A = this chain, B = another copy of it.
């Protein structure tokens, strides 16, 4: 379930997009890109004219278990060559100007990629070089641009971070985890009847010890306790613990009460 850190579990999903790094400068970044791709379930990497050649040992150092992606990566002279066998190409571009082109959000882009790949068509994602980004000729190779909704005062992402966002959105686009759930392990969420049973136990003991002796205030105090214990989900195991806490505290009080009675002269 937790996966193997050495990347031996990394297998290509034939219906996943290709990541194309255009003129990447730093081997460190290429390795970090491979790791980010693997995190998101992407596998296919293509390199267009990497500045320092290919392969580069620095990429292997930063891939942290995603070396299989580097070993399978292909090398290309031009963007046109790298996209030749693809049907759809999206270009990530933080600040597109002077082009007339569809622009997608990262999430919108991931949803379209998912839909297009599901039709058996092959998609590619273009990422530009570290400093300059994609040039106008690169963007002209793309069907659409993808622009992330980031801080306009600080919109330049590190190359591997830019790939991470799309890899994450690709994975998220197939995820149906509820946005919030209670992790309960071996126990389960308690029913209302089980919660009521505990509240009855608690109130009985509070009546017995005199905590609720102010009868006009008693209904409100009981209601406040009920509000508190209703605030979040409670598990069956936690209710058993709470029953035990109340019982033990009450035993102590009873024992002390008996001791005090015994001490009465």
Contact = CB atoms under 8 A, between A and B. Distances in A.
Interface of A: 1-5, 7, 9-11, 32, 35-36, 38-41, 64-66, 95-109, 111-112, 144-145, 147-158, 160-161, 164-165, 168, 171-172, 175, 177-185, 187, 232-233, 235, 237-238
Nearest to A104: B180
B183 A35 contact: no
B183 A100 contact: yes
Q: Is the interface of A mostly helix, strand, loop or mixed?
A: loop
A158 B64 contact: yes
Contacts of A144: 180
A158 B35 contact: yes
A154 B65 contact: yes
Contacts of A148: 168, 171
A149 B175 contact: yes
Nearest to A176: B149
A140 to B, nearest CB: 14
Contacts of A64: 156, 158
A37 to B, nearest CB: 9
A153 B38 CA distance: 8
A51 to B, nearest CB: 18
A167 to B, nearest CB: 8
B185 A100 contact: yes
Closest 5 CB pairs of A and B: A108-B179, A149-B175, A9-B153, A38-B154, A3-B153
A145 B112 contact: no
A185 B33 CA distance: 32
